[in-house]
A and B are shown apart, each in its own frame.
Chain A
Amino acid sequence: MRSDAALVPRAIPERLLEPPLTDGPVTPGSLDDQVLAFPDRRPPKKWYLGLAVTLTALFTGFGFIGYTLFSGIGEWGNNSPVFWAFDIINFVFWVGIGHAGTLISAILFLFRKRWRNAIARFAEAMTIFAVMCAGLFPLIHVGRPWLAFWLFPYPNQRGIWTNFRSPLLWDVFAVSTYFSVSLMFWYLGLLPDLASMRDRTPSKLRRRIYTVLSLGWRGAASHWQHYEKAYLLLAGLATGLVLSVHSVVSFDFATSVVPGWHMTIFPPYFVAGAIFAGFAMVVIVLVVVRESMDLKNLITLRHLEVMNKVILGMSCLMGYSYMMEGFTAWYSMNPYLHHTFMNIITGTYGWAGWLTISCNIFIPQLLWFRKCRTSYFWMLLVAAGVTVGMWFERFVIIVISLHQDYLPSAWRIYKPTLVDFGVLLGSFGLFFTLVLIFARVLPVIATTEVKAILPGAQPPHGGHHE
């Protein structure tokens, strides 16, 4: 009897299927009215309040940056041997946040995950803003940002060229390429939506702006054909790129000889961490957007649940990476590496090590429970924990490895200054200010992409390309 029952194909439980695109009926028209109407409405008080908070953070932070530029980076806590600290931590942190957007928009696109269409636009926008925040830090880290163009190889009267063997130069290329490609990808996706905005806004000024931005897009079938091809190609290219960017960032560390940095696991470990942190940030922002902009039927709880599953998977991958770090320290029989690893769990900064492990490995395990995956409280708790944890992970990697390496006479305890914290606050201010402005002036959901996969959107037959 039992074996017979096992042979009968059973229906796949609903929760294992790909989540539905929308909750409740949505038509192309109702979608436009819901999503594209925001720029034509007066922003609510909450929005102004949020903008006031983020702008305060932004201007405070930029005040501190101005102070740094005026007075020199001696105002930061960095000192021998911890020459890299908050600046590089923040850089790696923000670049990592950006990776979620590219993963959602490119990799999930290639995998034909339909649920990604509702959140792709916001995630892509967050990528661009996060890379802008990230770019800020190497710029001020060089000390004299007005000479930052020296980073690029260009013929100059000094008669010198950049060193192509330096991972720091690879970084310059990787991050600038990443920003350009993300911007291109984002803009191409926006183009048809901007055309929709152009054709529906009652304001003359906005129509003129959207007309210029949409480049006269008219939805011709011959245009769509090239457009779809370009979008597919960009998705493929961005997929390779997103894996390469954080790998190159990890080379900044892995190609050095510092114990705790010189490890082959770094590139995949960094990429996983980036996606992990990025998804957490996307969850935080999407929950706020979904509630405040009343997009509950488009960004559904099931979408958030799937995101939380990705976070859980990445958390396990991070746990594996941490264990491999410990294993490498033990198996290498390298006393310096061993010392560095023990420093992470028992050293002066041991609290940071344990905070990292708790926030990134232990707390996300809550997401095994469906209740936690679908509850705002628990998912925000986990996402906030991951954001904090991933910031501290970079702190652990950078500061703990640097503050005690081969030469005990050079050991020193690193202490950040007020300016360090101020600049970090400024980067958060910049990020959320841009997010808020984006939410008001551009379509927060890729309406065109969602329209194309709504029920009945494609003709019943011949649903394939010739």
Chain B
Amino acid sequence: MSERTAAVLGLFDTPGALLEAIPAVKARQLGRLEAYTPYPVHGLDGALGLRKSPLGGMVLVMGILGAITAFGFEYWISAVDYPIVTGGKAPGSWEAFIPIMFEVTVLFATFTAGLGMLLLLNKLPFFGHPVLASDAIKAITRDRFALSIEAEDDGFDAAAARAALAAAGATGIEALPAPDRGPFLTSDYILRVAGGIFTACVVAGLLMYGAVKLFPVLPPMSHIEDQPRLDAQKADPFFKDGFGMRMPVPGTVARGYLPLGVSSQDEAAALVNPLPTTPAVLAEGKRLFHIRCELCHGPLANGTPTLTAAYGAKPANLQSEQIRNYPDGKIFWVITMGKNAMPSHAADLTVDQRWAIVHYVRALQRAQNATDADVKAAEAR
């Protein structure tokens, strides 16, 4: 048989018997001694000569490291990289960092204690240990106490080990073969699991793709956009006439639109231009004339339009004798109400803007019909 013996193991019924057996077996120096028990038995580490666990020191170091890490991170973020004053505190004031420092300290220390114990000190997970394949393991994790003599080199004397354990009063002695069987997780098994996960991912991905295709727009919490409400210019069944928008109550006066108090051009003749003839008013009138009037009446207001070809009607010549004799109010009325083909500009121009245009038209009329006295007055200035 090429099978090598890794250890010889015997069972005891009580922890006391196990402890008593250790010194005699140890004295024979057959190999490394290890005990397997269902729960921690006091005094075993002393009897087996185990060294003190270094876990406490590891946890202390990592805990301090956690505190330093947390403080450094918080300080760097709050005071250096992203200094924002909150609660009137200086960006570097450290008192508020303490709770998170504490939590991170505990987190580092805990993971060091737990994972350090498992992975570093106990070298777990490990599924290939010979004890796990033994007949004794069922008793060990239940209520029996095992002592095992483990081979340290090729010169291990299994027969002597058996004899030593029997002499110490152990029962159920068995020799554990060195693990030559495949590991617990065979490559075939790993491959199958990986394949299963991959297939599941592909199926889930396809299903997700289908779902997204099926419901292209499923935005969660977009309901703020479809509240019950009336939209401007939209029909709505809420009112009997089906219009979403309502007409104002008869007699409603819009802000900034006081009624003129006149109802015809002749009556309007009585209106007086309320604006003074200042350069600012004339400049505003000129600007608005450019926008609203010039296209048809021409830059000199003489009825020579820019758009003659495209525009069949003949706009009025504002330099005509008739219009030059109009009172201001009549011109204002025409701008407000429109005349012949000319539309109303009441919606485009405020009352004051209209009066400003009137001033500017008067200035154009005077400029085109200037007298010598006007020229002299201008030169004198």
Contacts and interface: CB of A to CB of B under 8 A. Distances in A.
Chain A bound to chain B: yes
A177 B109 contact: no
Contact of B86 (A165, A196, A459, A461): A165
Contact of B78 (A164, A167, A177, A238): A164
A279 interface: no
A451 B34 contact: no
Nearest to B16: A459
A461 B121 CA distance: 28
Nearest to B131: A218
Given A72-B221, A226-B53, A456-B14, A192 B35 contact: no
Contacts of A143: 221
B37 interface: yes
B53 A225 contact: yes
A226 B43 contact: no
Interface stretch (A85-93, A131-139, A229-237): A229-237
Contact of A163 (B14, B86, B221): B86
Contact of A233 (B18, B47, B56, B107): B56
Contact of B121 (A174, A177, A226): A226
A216 interface: yes
A264 B113 CA distance: 34
B122 A226 contact: yes
A29 interface: yes
B75 to A, nearest CB: 9
Contacts of A166: 86
B16 A230 contact: no
A187 B99 CA distance: 26
Contact of A462 (B36, B46, B55, B82): B46
Interface in B80-130: 81-82, 84, 86-87, 89, 96-97, 99-100, 102-104, 106-107, 109-111, 113-114, 116-118, 121-122, 124-129
State the main secondary structure of chain B at its contact with A. helix
A212 B125 CA distance: 8
B205 interface: no
Nearest to A235: B113
A154 B186 CA distance: 39
Nearest to B221: A72
A192 B220 CA distance: 46
Interface residues on B, range: 35 or more
Interface string A443-454: 000001101100
B151 interface: no
Contacts of A34: none
State the main secondary structure of chain A at its contact with B. helix
Nearest to A32: B142
A180 B125 contact: no
A181 B142 contact: no
A437 interface: no
B50 interface: yes
Interface in A244-300: 244, 248, 251
A214 to B, nearest CB: 9
B105 to A, nearest CB: 9
A324 interface: no
B140 A227 contact: no
Contacts of A466: 43, 45-46
Given A181-B110, A244-B99, A458 B42 contact: yes
B19 A459 contact: yes
Interface in A37-82: 69-72
A463 to B, nearest CB: 5
A375 interface: no
Contacts of A333: none
Nearest to A73: B221
Nearest to A28: B143
Contacts of A458: 15, 41-42
Nearest to B107: A177
B184 A211 contact: yes
Which residue, A184, A188, A227, A233, has most C-beta atoms of chain B within 10 A? A233
A70 B59 contact: no
B103 A174 contact: yes
Contact of A169 (B18, B45, B100): B100
B288 interface: no
Which residue, A143, A230, A238, A449, has most C-beta atoms of chain B within 10 A? A230
A463 B44 CA distance: 9
B73 A153 contact: yes
B48 interface: yes
A84 interface: no
A198 B132 CA distance: 10
B223 interface: yes
Contacts of B39: 28, 192, 224, 448-449, 451-452, 457
A233 to B, nearest CB: 4
A199 to B, nearest CB: 5
Contacts of A181: 106-107, 110
A137 to B, nearest CB: 18
Contacts of B16: 459-460
A237 B110 contact: yes
A465 interface: yes
B53 A229 contact: yes
B290 interface: no
Contacts of A460: 16
Given A72-B224, A233-B55, A234-B110, A215 B124 contact: yes
Given A165-B96, A196-B142, A221-B44, A230 B103 contact: no
Given A71-B223, A153-B73, A221 B36 contact: yes
A188 B106 CA distance: 16
B138 interface: yes
Given A218-B129, A237-B110, A462-B19, 4 more contacts: A32-B143, A177-B106, A221-B44, A226-B121
24 contacts: A29-B142, A29-B143, A70-B220, A71-B221, A163-B84, A173-B100, A180-B107, A211-B127, A220-B35, A221-B37, A222-B48, A222-B50, A224-B37, A225-B53, A226-B53, A229-B56, A238-B110, A448-B38, A451-B38, A452-B40, A456-B14, A458-B15, A462-B42, A462-B46
Give 5 closest A-B pairs by Cβ, nearest first: A466-B46, A28-B143, A215-B125, A462-B43, A230-B117
